[in-house]
Structure 1
Amino acid sequence: MSDLDVTLPSAFDPFAEANAEDAGAGPGAKDYVHVRIQQRNGRKSLTTVQGLKKEFSYNKILKDLKKEFCCNGTVVQDPELGQVIQLQGDQRKNVATFLVQAGIAKKELIKIHGF
């Protein structure tokens, strides 16, 4: 049985690209801004924005976002992720265009997650 020289095809790893990026540069090297949606109950949802640079005032950005999109929100301090902006409703596309127009983040550095 050890005489056989058979190579098995390796399984496809969907996270290989993400792991390769993280391994060489360390956490936060690309400085992506992640815009995600979290489902609450029923049709209710939250939009979270994470990964903004530390020099920006999160409260001022939140104030402008709330006024622009007529929704409520808050800044949450997470032990792993740092400060995260939470907005009511599905505001993913709105937040992405707002961040680009305000010059806070470049379009290619914004990742929109969710269904």
Structure 2
Amino acid sequence: MSDFDIQTPTALDPFADANAENSGAGSKDYIHVRVQQRNGRKSLTTVQGLKKEFSYNKILKDLKKEFCCNGTVVQDPELGQVIQLQGDQRKNVSSFLIQAGIVKKEHIKIHGF
């Protein structure tokens, strides 16, 4: 072989840092807001890491009403409960969580492209 190593690009995994040992669900009390590309222009926003004492369904209901989008709460075996919203709602969700007093600004991590 030559001096140049050939590296093939790998697919981007938006949950790669969540699957690491030191940044699992609820570690360091961070709220992770991510966007995932679906097909075409469609995207999905996920909110993971909220404390279990909050009612996910009530937060989801307020988010759906505020941003005029649809969403659901899914149960993940590793990550716990995750809120999913239609569209790229990263900035909207982070500002909503701060204004509602659910989390402080320094405890939110926004991921995505």
TM-score, structure 2 normalization: 0.78
Q: Which has the larger Rg? A: 1
1:97 corresponds to 2:95: yes
Aligned-partner residue type, residue 45 of structure 1 = S
Aligned length: 94
Q: CA deviation at 1:27?
A: 6.2
Q: Contact 2:25 / 2:79 at 8 angstroms: preserved in 1? A: no
Distance, in Å, in 1 between the alignment partners of 2:104 and 2:72 is 23
* Structure 2: segments with no counterpart, 5+ residues: 1-19
- Cα offsets for 1:52-106 (capped at 9, x unmatched): 0000000000000000000000000000000000000000000000000000011
Secondary structure of 1:86 counterpart: strand
- Cα offsets for 1:8-27 (capped at 9, x unmatched): xxxxxxxxxxx7x929xx86
Distance, in Å, in 2 between the alignment partners of 1:31 and 1:71 is 27
* Structure 1: segments with no counterpart, 5+ residues: 1-18
- Cα offsets for 1:26-45 (capped at 9, x unmatched): 86341100000010000000
Moved over 4 A (4+): none
Q: Percent of pairs identical after alignment?
A: 87
Aligned-partner residue type, residue 38 of structure 2 = R
